[in-house]
């Protein structure tokens, strides 16, 4: 630990492997694999798998309930990461007080309308709340957390994460209102939803590219030496990703199994018509699904950036599309628990595959898993439905 | 809230009717009928669709050319620019035409279409890079090799001319005895094969190099068709959305392969200095030089030749695919798309039809990929990335599904007009918004896709009754 922090960030072979910098291929093709790397790759796989699990829950619910194979889902994670970056950059001057004031007013309007006025539609209320809440939190956050460098302190990062989540939710609700809801009303088929989602992904990714450029951006975190646990390097970000994901997954489990809303979601994913007949307000629950999706995708994107040495890129979601769909289909469409298990399996499969093939081909493992599931057990491990 | 459907305002037809009424008034009904006759071709639905397509393409070229005109140094510069745009349009229309057969008619949502184009181009490039001049020299030296190469080229010429000859015979003498028609087709195709082979005589020097590229091209097209077989193994039975995911993943994997296997594909540096027979011949052929100079003294010979080849390829595949989708085969294909269970119950081998559509479309897409690579005479992995897949899709949806004419209008709008107009977003750089051209184009394409899907799902000239989505 005698090194000064001015040295180049030290990353171990595993971290290099994780970032695709280290070629883990055995020198002689497929014959010999360096098995000593296995524990490290397992850990990396579990970390990336837990991120896949986070993002996959939203995807599987949306896929199951709205019949929407959302090709823009991975780009939503990218958006979450960049929003956190945006909010982590400190605001200047008295803007925080203004932000708090305007945000508070908007939020108050939404709440007042909900309980007293009843002048606005549901959607308008959501938009007011979605605009107001992040401004309020931002104002308070800057007042409390101070203005360091972007993401320099854990507190700033935490607030930025919260803000990113809130804005992601708002964006998803706005998207539902503008695009998915009219299409649902029209009775659009699976196919047209897929095509529209490709369009949404194009718009999202390119808008992010205009806003943040094509290059890498990073949370300005202090470089730390990854601690070694029984010969395996696990960075603090990886530990945090693992712990937070575990907590979130437990929370999601409790939410889905204990609360009325969660049960309604599961019922809808299981059989939409039956759920509707048994008195579930489907339109309302759809909004809840989007809220949950917003929370989880934003978290997934932020952790994706954190475990990749704080680096984020506009195109980082692209590589997630296939693994995400693979894990969701593996777990069974519409099954959140399936998505968790599927994410972990696909993540581990992708990372352990780098024992034999170059790390640029790790997506091949996801493809193989996907094809195998589709051929052998198209309903997935946890028995989603096959139309 | 019911979404309104946008209508294209009728301009041409009322005007035409008005003129015809004037003619009738002045010259009488008989003359009017005679005048009308040649315009019958443009009547009815087909005519309306063609008019929409032609007007769209004209509008695109007028607008784009008009914006570029003030900056062009001379008329010649502008002309070469427009020739380049026309080439781009033809190639991307061919790309979208292949997708039209796969998706518009066959209902196979192929999100990995660029894999076909990339594989075909790379196969040709690899043949040239690793065999190339050596093979050309070997061909020049060995008569046996010459014979084999000429045989392959002759067979390919015969194979590619057969459908066109067959269509022509069927159109000109539909009621002739089948046997006579067969004899004529085989004879004509044989002649075409002999003609193709004789073009390469004597097989040495430049012609040997041409022959290597042609062999590479044939290998590339075969590889594209083979890729369809490979895709089909896991994917052909799947639901549309699964199929989209699998094809997307496979295309991504292929792209990773191009980028990483440096020894074979040149990695990110790509394959450069590809021998381009079109350019070479355009620059050495006196007849073509004279012809181009006659059209315009400023026009460059090589790009014009490339445009000609691209247009010929587009017309060839258009005629072929149009005949295919109107044939009983096309009807079964559409039946499979609408409801495969019904088609299967009627005794049709559903997966076979899907596979055939995937392969034939793949061949057209592969040909387009080869043309994409031949223009700059090099191949980079970046030519064949996901962005091109998506923009081709947008072009298809904007042009209209299940109508082969649509791809031309779609390619003109999405792959010619959008990129050229997006360049004008540069002015935003003065306001500190950098890097706005490419993303601006992407956003416009994405918005176009979303809006067309929501408000005009049949596209410009698509068949509303054949929509695969509500």
Q: Summarize pLDDT for A278-287 with one digit per residue, the tens.
A: 988 888 889 8
Whether B59 shows a pLDDT value over 50: the answer reads yes
Interface check A207 vs B, CB under 8 A: yes
DSSP A30: T
If you average pLDDT over residues B430-435, what whole number do you get?
A: 75
pLDDT of res. B353: 93
Whether residue B443 and residue A182 make contact (CB cut-off 8 A), yes or no, is: no
pLDDT of res. B382: 86
A123: enclosing H helix or E strand: helix A122-145
If you average pLDDT over residues B382-392, what whole number do you get?
A: 89
Q: Which residue has the higher pLDDT, B323 or A187?
A: B323
pLDDT of res. A374: 86
Question: Which of B240, B246, B253 lies nearest to residue A191, judging by beta carbons?
Answer: B240
Instruction: Report the 10 Å Cβ neighbour count for B159.
Output: 13
Nearest to A230 by CA among A64, A39, A1: A39
CB B109 within 8 A of CB B243: yes
pLDDT in tens, B260-276: 888 888 888 889 888 89
Residues of B in contact with A183 (CB under 8 A): 453-454
The answer for B 393-412 residues in CB contact with A (under 8 A) is: 393-394, 397
Residues of B in contact with A363 (CB under 8 A): 249, 252-253, 256
Whether residue A190 and residue B239 make contact (CB cut-off 8 A), yes or no, is: yes
* Three-class DSSP category at A64: helix
Instruction: Report the 10 Å Cβ neighbour count for B428.
Output: 15
Question: Which of B235, B442, B470 lies nearest to residue A188, judging by beta carbons?
Answer: B470
How many degrees, rounded to 5, is the angle at CA A132 between CA A126 and CA A136?
145
A137-146, B20-29, B319-328: least confident range = A137-146
Q: How many CB pairs under 8 A join A and B?
A: 150
B11-15, B55-59, B81-85, B245-249: least confident range = B11-15
Interface check B250 vs A, CB under 8 A: yes
Interface check A121 vs B, CB under 8 A: no
pLDDT in tens, A80-124: 999 988 877 654 334 566 677 777 778 787 787 777 777 667 767
Whether B82 shows a pLDDT value over 80: the answer reads yes
pLDDT of res. B325: 93
If you average pLDDT over residues B388-401, what whole number do you get?
A: 92
Interface check A244 vs B, CB under 8 A: no
**pLDDT-derived band at B9, boundaries 50, 70, 90:** low
Query: For the whole model, what pTM was predicted?
Result: 0.84
Question: Which of A179, A321, A370 lies nearest to residue B450, judging by beta carbons?
Answer: A179
Q: A168: which 2 tokens? A: 């992601």
Whether residue B468 and residue A198 make contact (CB cut-off 8 A), yes or no, is: no
- Return the residue in A198, A215, A350 with the most chain B beta carbons within 10 A, the one to mutate for interface testing: A198
If you average pLDDT over residues B308-331, what whole number do you get?
A: 95
CB A65 within 8 A of CB A76: no
The answer for B 428-457 residues in CB contact with A (under 8 A) is: 433-436, 438-443, 445-450, 453-454, 457
Distance CA A165, CA B335 (A): 46
Distance CA B318, CA B327 (A): 14
Whether residue A329 and residue B242 make contact (CB cut-off 8 A), yes or no, is: yes
pLDDT of res. A22: 46
Distance CA A82, CA A368 (A): 31
Whether B296 shows a pLDDT value over 50: the answer reads yes
- Return the residue in B382, B469, B470 with the most chain A beta carbons within 10 A, the one to mutate for interface testing: B469
The answer for B 255-314 residues in CB contact with A (under 8 A) is: 256-257, 259-260
Paired residues of A217 in beta bridges: A312
Q: What is the DSSP string of B300-367?
A: -HHHHHHHHHHHHHHHHHHHHHHHHHHSHHHHHHHHHHH-HHHHHHTT--HHHHHHHHHHHHHHHHHH
Q: What is the DSSP string of A358-374?
A: -GGGHHHHHHHHHHHHH
pLDDT mean values, one per 10 residues, chain A (387 residues): 40 47 44 73 92 94 89 94 81 54 78 74 73 74 58 70 88 92 87 92 92 82 74 83 88 89 87 88 89 94 89 87 93 89 94 86 89 85 59
Distance CA B17, CA B10 (A): 12
Mean predicted lDDT score pLDDT of chain B: 88
Whether B44 shows a pLDDT value over 80: the answer reads no
Nearest to B61 by CA among B451, B437, B388, B411: B411
Whether residue B248 and residue A322 make contact (CB cut-off 8 A), yes or no, is: yes
């Amino acid at each position: 630990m005698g090194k000064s922090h001015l040295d180049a960030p030290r990353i171990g072979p595993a971290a290099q492997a994780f970032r695709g910098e280290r070629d883990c291929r055995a020198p002689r093709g497929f014959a010999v694999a360096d098995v000593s790397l296995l524990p490290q790759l397992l850990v990396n796989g579990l970390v990336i798998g837990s991120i896949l699990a986070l993002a996959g829950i939203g995807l599987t619910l949306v896929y199951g309930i709205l019949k929407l194979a959302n090709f823009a889902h991975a780009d939503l994670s990218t958006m979450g990461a960049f929003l956190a970056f945006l909010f982590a950059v400190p605001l200047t001057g008295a803007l925080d007080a203004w932000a708090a004031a305007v945000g508070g007013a908007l939020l108050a309007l939404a709440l007042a309308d909900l309980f007293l006025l009843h002048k606005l539609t549901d959607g308008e209320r959501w938009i007011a709340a979605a605009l107001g809440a992040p401004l309020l939190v931002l104002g308070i956050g800057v007042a409390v957390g101070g203005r360091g460098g972007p993401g320099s302190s854990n507190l700033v990062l935490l607030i930025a994460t919260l803000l990113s989540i809130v804005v992601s939710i708002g964006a998803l609700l706005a998207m539902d209102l503008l695009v998915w809801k009219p299409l649902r009303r029209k009775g659009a088929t699976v196919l047209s939803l897929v095509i529209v989602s490709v369009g949404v992904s194009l718009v999202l990714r390119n808008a992010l590219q205009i806003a943040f450029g094509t290059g890498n951006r990073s949370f300005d975190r202090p470089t730390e030496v990854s601690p070694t646990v029984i010969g395996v390097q696990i960075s603090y970000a990886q530990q945090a990703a693992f712990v937070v994901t575990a907590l979130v997954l437990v929370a999601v489990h409790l939410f889905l199994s204990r609360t009325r809303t969660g049960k309604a979601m599961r019922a809808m994913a299981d059989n939409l018509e039956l759920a509707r007949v048994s008195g579930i307000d489907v339109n309302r629950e759809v909004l809840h699904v989007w809220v949950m999706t917003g929370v989880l995708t934003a978290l997934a994107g932020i952790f994706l950036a954190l475990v990749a040495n704080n680096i984020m890129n506009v195109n980082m979601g692209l590589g997630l599309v296939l693994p995400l769909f693979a894990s969701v289909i593996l777990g069974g469409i519409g099954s959140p628990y399936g998505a968790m298990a599927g994410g972990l399996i696909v993540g581990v499969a992708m990372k352990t595959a780098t024992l034999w093939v170059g790390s640029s081909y790790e997506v091949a493992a996801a493809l193989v898993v996907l094809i195998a599931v589709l051929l052998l057990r198209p309903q997935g491990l946890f028995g989603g439905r096959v139309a | 809230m019911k979404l309104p459907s946008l209508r294209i305002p009728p301009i041409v037809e009322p005007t035409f009717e008005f003129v015809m009424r004037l003619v009738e008034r002045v010259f009488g009904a008989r003359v009017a009928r005679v005048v009308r006759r040649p315009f019958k071709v443009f009547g009815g639905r087909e005519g309306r669709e063609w008019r929409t397509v032609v007007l769209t393409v004209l509008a695109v070229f007028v607008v784009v050319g008009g914006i570029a005109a003030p900056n062009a140094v001379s008329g010649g510069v502008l002309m070469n620019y427009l020739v380049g745009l026309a080439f781009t349009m033809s190639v991307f229309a061919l790309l979208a035409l292949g997708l039209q057969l796969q998706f518009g008619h066959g209902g196979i949502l192929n999100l990995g279409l660029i894999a076909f184009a990339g594989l075909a181009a790379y196969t040709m490039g690899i043949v040239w890079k690793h065999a190339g001049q050596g093979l050309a020299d070997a061909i020049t030296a060995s008569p046996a090799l010459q014979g084999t190469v000429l045989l392959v080229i002759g067979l390919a010429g015969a194979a590619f001319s057969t459908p066109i000859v067959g269509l022509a015979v069927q159109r000109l003498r539909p009621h002739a005895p089948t046997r006579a028609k067969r004899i004529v087709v085989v004879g004509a195709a044989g002649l075409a094969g002999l003609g193709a082979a004789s073009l390469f005589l004597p097989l040495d020097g430049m012609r040997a190099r041409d022959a290597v590229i042609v062999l590479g091209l044939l290998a590339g097209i075969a590889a594209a068709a083979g890729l369809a077989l490979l895709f089909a193994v896991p994917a052909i039975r799947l639901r549309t959305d699964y199929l989209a995911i699998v094809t997307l993943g496979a295309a991504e994997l292929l792209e990773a392969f191009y980028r990483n296997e440096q020894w074979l594909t040149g990695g990110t540096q790509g394959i450069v200095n590809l021998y381009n027979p079109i350019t070479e011949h355009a620059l050495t052929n006196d007849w073509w030089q004279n012809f181009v100079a006659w059209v315009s003294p400023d026009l460059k010979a090589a790009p014009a030749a490339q445009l000609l080849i691209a247009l010929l390829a587009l017309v060839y595949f258009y005629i072929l695919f149009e005949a295919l989708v109107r044939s009983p085969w096309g009807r079964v294909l559409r039946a499979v798309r609408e409801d495969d269970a019904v088609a299967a119950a009627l005794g049709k081998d559903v997966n076979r039809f899907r596979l055939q559509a995937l392969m034939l479309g793949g061949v057209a897409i592969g040909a387009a990929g080869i043309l994409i690579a031949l223009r700059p005479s090099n191949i980079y992995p970046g030519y064949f990335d996901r962005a091109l897949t998506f923009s081709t899709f947008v072009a298809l949806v904007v042009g209209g599904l299940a109508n082969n004419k649509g791809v031309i209008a779609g390619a003109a709008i999405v792959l010619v007009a959008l990129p050229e107009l997006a360049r004008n977003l540069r002015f935003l750089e003065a306001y500190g918004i950098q890097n706005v051209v490419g993303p601006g184009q992407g956003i416009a394409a994405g918005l176009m896709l979303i809006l067309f899907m929501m408000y005009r799902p049949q596209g410009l000239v698509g068949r509303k009754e054949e929509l695969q989505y509500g």
